[in-house]
Amino acid sequence: MEKGTLLYEGKAKKVYQTNNDDIVWIEYKDSATAFNGEKKASIAGKGRLNNEITSLLFSKLQALGIDSHFIKKLSATEQLVKKVEIIPLETVVRNFSAGSFAKRLGVEEGAKLARPIVEFYYKDDALGDPLLIEDHIEILQLANSDEVAILKEKALQVNTVLSELFKELGIRLVDFKLEFGKDENGNILLADEISPDTCRLWDDKTNEKLDKDVFRRDLGNLTDAYETILARLRRPISMYKVKVFVTLRESVLDPQGTVVKNSLHSLNYSEVSDVRIGKYMELTIDKSDRPVDEVVKDMCERLLANVVIEDYRYEIEEAVAQ
């Protein structure tokens, strides 16, 4: 495959022709832009990070049955993709409130939405990428209603897969933007990129932002955040640390708890109204074909707790073998 002439240069990528009419050569740039181009910077390494992350995510999606324009990664900053005609819509999926949604609707940032929602924005820099309702899309002939339905369905599919994938890496997929294109047969195909430039990714525990908001809001070093995402994507989860808590059921009198409560009262902790004594277990479980959640539940029901008199709960943490 040979790199041909430059077809198009955008804010983040250059697109070159190849000697195959159906395939184009993408080069990721080191530039960062935000607020519709008002804030700009050149950040060394960003092109590489977005190319690596996008390549990994598109590969994982393909492995899970979600096709895209992605063909293969060529180098640290380049990839080959199928040539598509980009539909001028940004398809946004939101799982948690953030960004323009939080601002426009006054929903506190970080609040979990009752279900994932899909929004469309008009890809038009001059207009500032405005939010569209479906009638707008139809009347502007950006896509017909069948196509809008397909975009929604595909976007939600991608969301299911990516949310789960990031969750396993200890990352919350807050929201993300997708772009779709049409191939020569008119089939709608996932295109563009999926990277911290196009996703809001928060650390599940610390809520640390690991995406372009770091740049938008000057929260620190952008490449550090993107490196974190890349490192976690590359690191295969090999085991889980599971904490199991077993206590006597609420309805069952706990003789030990009662004695301890009385003892605390005699030490003047009169505010203690109840004590339940239970067991705490730490399990290390290797990753297997069976969903870990199912495995743990099964173990609790069969052995770790006696459900006649005991309740259990557990916490599962992903871990990587050292």
Partner 1 sequence: MKFAVIVFPGSNCDVDMYHAVKDELGAEVEYVWHDRKSLDKFDGILLPGGFSYGDYLRSGAIARFSNVMKEVVKAAEAGKPVLGVCNGFQILLEAGLLPGAMKRNESLKFICRSVELQVENNKTMFSSAYESNEVITIPIAHGEGNYYCDEETLAKLKANNQIVFTYSGSNPNGSLADIAGIINEKGNVLGMMPHPERAVDELLGGADGLKLFQSIVKQWREAHVVNA
- Answer yes or no whether residue 299 interacts with partner 1 by CB under 8 A: no
Q: How many CB atoms lie within 10 A of CB 76?
A: 13
CB of 243 to partner 1, least distance (A): 16
Contact 173, 159 (CB under 8 A): yes
- Answer yes or no whether residue 248 interacts with partner 1 by CB under 8 A: yes
CB of 183 to partner 1, least distance (A): 57
Per-residue binding letters, 112-151, with partner 1 (x by CB under 8 A): ----------------------------------------
Q: Which of 200, 304, 312, 318 binds partner 1 (CB under 8 A)?
A: 304
- Kindly state the helix (H) or strand (E) to which residue 319 belongs, with its residue range: strand 310-319
CB of 283 to partner 1, least distance (A): 13
CB proximity list for 36: less than 8 A, separation 6 or greater? 125, 128, 129
CB of 168 to partner 1, least distance (A): 30
User: CA-to-CA distance for 258 and 262, rounded, in angstroms?
Assistant: 6
- Cα separations in angstroms, 28 against 72, 90, 206, 208: 14, 19, 30, 25
CA dihedral 20, 23, 25, 28 (to 10 degrees): 180
What 8-state DSSP symbol labels residue 303? I
User: CA-to-CA distance for 41 and 1, rounded, in angstroms?
Assistant: 32
In this complex, which beta carbon is closest to partner 1, that of residue 4 or of residue 255? 255
Q: Among the residues of 82-186, which ranges form H helices?
A: 99-105, 134-139, 145-168
CB of 147 to partner 1, least distance (A): 57
User: CA-to-CA distance for 201 and 179, rounded, in angstroms?
Assistant: 18
Number of residues that bind partner 1 (CB under 8 A): 13
**Among 135-143, 173-181, 186-194, 248-256, which window interacts with partner 1 (CB under 8 A)?**
248-256
CB of 280 to partner 1, least distance (A): 12
**Among 33-41, 97-105, 171-179, 244-252, which window interacts with partner 1 (CB under 8 A)?**
244-252
- Answer yes or no whether residue 238 interacts with partner 1 by CB under 8 A: no
Structure tokens at 263: 């003892």
- Answer yes or no whether residue 6 interacts with partner 1 by CB under 8 A: no
CB of 226 to partner 1, least distance (A): 46
**Among 92-100, 198-206, 301-309, 313-321, which window interacts with partner 1 (CB under 8 A)?**
301-309
Per-residue binding letters, 263-292, with partner 1 (x by CB under 8 A): ----------------x-------------
User: CA-to-CA distance for 294 and 271, rounded, in angstroms?
Assistant: 39
Contact 47, 193 (CB under 8 A): no
Cα first-last separation, the chain? 40
- Answer yes or no whether residue 313 interacts with partner 1 by CB under 8 A: no
Closest CA to 305 of 219, 254, 258, 246: 246
- Answer yes or no whether residue 255 interacts with partner 1 by CB under 8 A: yes
CB of 255 to partner 1, least distance (A): 5
Structure tokens at 97: 């409130």
- Tell me the torsion sign for CA atoms 36, 39, 41, 43: negative
CB of 193 to partner 1, least distance (A): 51
- Answer yes or no whether residue 262 interacts with partner 1 by CB under 8 A: no
Contacts to partner 1 by CB under 8 A: 248, 251-253, 255-256, 259, 279, 303-304, 306, 308-309
